[in-house]
Amino acid sequence: MSRALQLRYRNETIEAALSLQGRSAALERDGRRLETTVARDGAWIEVRSGDRVRRCAVARGGRGVWVAVEGTTYFFEVEQREAGARGAAASADEIRAPMTGRVVTVAAVPGTEAREGDLLLTIEAMKMEFKLTAPEDGAVLEVACAPGDRVELGQLLVRLKPTAANGGGA
């Protein structure tokens, strides 16, 4: 039985096919095939191909799966095929909270122009301030937070309409 594996690791989308049959696991990826035998020991999965054994710690959690091997830890989000493009929103820059924290100051004003690098707002977490700046020139469409707000990782804070997209971006 072969299953499609579509995972997102940081900014990279990985597509592969995995066949699992008893202890045999075969991966097809980018035109190559790796045949292995796998064994599970608690939270560890040992993947053996020939003489080489890689011992991986695994856990499912959140929207994906965690794998640690030899000091490197990967978090893979399970990709969900999006139904249709995001349309108009695709031409706007969404500034999202890079961490859970508190909004300290808001410099962005809806209806004004921001230049690349302009300060939009500052967030504080663990007693450290982080500045969020405009990734490119654009018009501030929306400011979705106020000083003092508590914001969650990934929460929308500011929307920008990039100047470069005016008059015909994709």
Partner 1 sequence: MTPPAPRVFRKVLVANRGEIAIRVCRTLREMTIPSVSVYSDADRGSPHVRAADQSARIGPAAPADSYLNAPAILEAARAAGADAIHPGYGFLSQSASFARACGEAGVTFIGPSPQAMERLGDKESSRRAAVRCGVPVIPGAEDVPDADRALAEAKRIGFPVLLKAAGGGGGRGMRRVAAADALASEFESARREAVAAFGNGRIFVEKLVHPARHVEIQVLGDGNNAVAFGERECSLQRRYQKVLEESPSTAVTPKVRAAMERAAVALARDAGYAGAATVEFLLAEDGTFYFLEVNTRLQVEHPVTEMRFGLDLVRAQIEIAAGGPLPKPAAPRGHAIEARLNAEDPYQGYLPQAGTILALTFPEGEGIRVDAGIAAGQTIQTHYDSLLAKIVAHGATREEARVRLERALSEMALLGVRTNQRFLLDLLADDAFRTGATYTHTLESRSWPAPVGVPDEVLIAAGVALFGAREAAALERDDADRYSPWGTLGGWGRGAPPVPGSSRSAP
* 78 and 84 Cβ atoms separated by less than 8 Å: no
Specify the residue, 48 or 141, whose C-beta has the smaller distance to partner 1.
48
φ and ψ at 145, to 5 degrees?
Answer: -150, 165
Gap between the Cα atoms of 38 and 23, Å rounded: 5
Check residue 153 for interaction with partner 1 (CB under 8 A).
yes
Gap between the Cα atoms of 87 and 77, Å rounded: 23
Among 13, 31, 36, 155, binds partner 1 (CB under 8 A): 36
Among 91, 96, 113, 130, binds partner 1 (CB under 8 A): 130
> What's the token pair of residue 143?
């400011």
Task: Give the binding site for partner 1 (CB under 8 A).
Answer: 3, 5, 7, 9-10, 12, 14, 16, 18, 20, 22-23, 25, 27, 29, 34, 36, 38-47, 49, 53-62, 65-76, 78, 98-101, 104, 122, 124-130, 153
